[in-house]
Amino acid sequence: MQMNGADAKITAELTRLGADMVGFGNLSALEPEARRGFPLGISAGVRVPRELVRGITDAPTPEYWDYYHSGQETLDKLADTGAEYVRSLGYNALALTLKNVKFVGALRSELPYKTVATRAGLGWIGKCAMLATERFGTAIWFTAILTDAPLTAAEPVNESKCGACSACADACPAHAISGKLWNPELDRDEFFDAAKCATVARARAKELIGVDYPICGRCIAVCPRTQRYLDAKRQ
């Protein structure tokens, strides 16, 4: 894909700030309210460090729980600083930090980060409802910046690449993953039971690491694409 000046500058800046994946997605097909009137989304992902994912064999670890907080702060900072940079180039930009995310009920946001990431061509939504990528599997967390900058939008990903894999569904202690393949027209509730995941993950985290929060990570760790990332030599 050909990059224009703003594409290259923003990609370089977000990479300098710590992003492992950056992409630009055309959001114009989505409800204007959900995209706050902006036509484009910049998706930026930061991989979960290998040693933390390796630690999750059966259950979450205290280290993974600690990272969960710092990881969210890192993503918010990336989005805030990235949006500031886009504005310094003369465009409007809104960082979709946690405080700027509009929730529709407790377990769903109006514009999920993973929707922006699929629009930006960075991956597909796995059977476990996480954004899945070839390079990092599901061990990568995303944030987003909404903008009117004239960026070159990627070809969106409209198809699951999970195929016949059922590693996450087989490993899920909550039986929250139906095994159905994602496509953009499929509502999350049709292939993933977020309430079951949250209930069982919370109970296990409380029992196993003394944390009253729905944190688990098992589906991330067992994904064959994540395993490939863990085995890869390059950090």
Q: Which is nearer to ligand SF4, 43 or 147 (CB)?
A: 43
162 touching ligand SF4, by CB under 6 A: yes
CB 181 within 8 A of CB 162: yes
Work out whether 25 is an interface residue with ligand SF4 (CB under 6 A).
no
The set of residues, in sequence order, having a beta carbon less than 8 Å from that of 8 and lying 6+ positions away, is none
Q: Does residue 218 belong to the site contacting ligand SF4 (CB under 6 A)?
A: yes
Q: Does residue 140 interact with ligand SF4 by CB under 6 A? A: no
Tell me: does residue 59 bind ligand SF4 (CB under 6 A).
Answer: no
CA distance 155 to 102: 26
Tell me which residue has its CB nearest to ligand SF4.
126
Residue 223 has phi, psi (to 5 degrees) of: -60, 130
Give the number of other CB atoms < 10 A from CB of residue 73: 11
Q: Hey, which bits of the chain come out as E strands?
A: 21-26, 40-47, 93-95, 124-125, 131-132, 140-147
Find the binder of ligand SF4 among 177, 191, 205, 229 (CB under 6 A): 177
Closest residue by Cα to residue 149 from 15, 8, 2: 8
Q: Is 225 in the site for ligand SF4 (CB under 6 A)?
A: yes
Among 167, 191, 205, 229, binds ligand SF4 (CB under 6 A): 167
Nearest to 179 by CA among 225, 137, 126: 126
Nearer to ligand SF4, 73 or 134 (CB): 134
Q: Residues in contact with ligand SF4, total (CB under 6 A)?
A: 25
Residue ranges in 195-214 that form contacts with ligand SF4 under rule CB under 6 A: 197, 200-201
Binding site for ligand SF4 (CB under 6 A): 126-128, 132, 138, 162, 165-168, 171-174, 176-177, 197, 200-201, 216, 218-219, 223-225
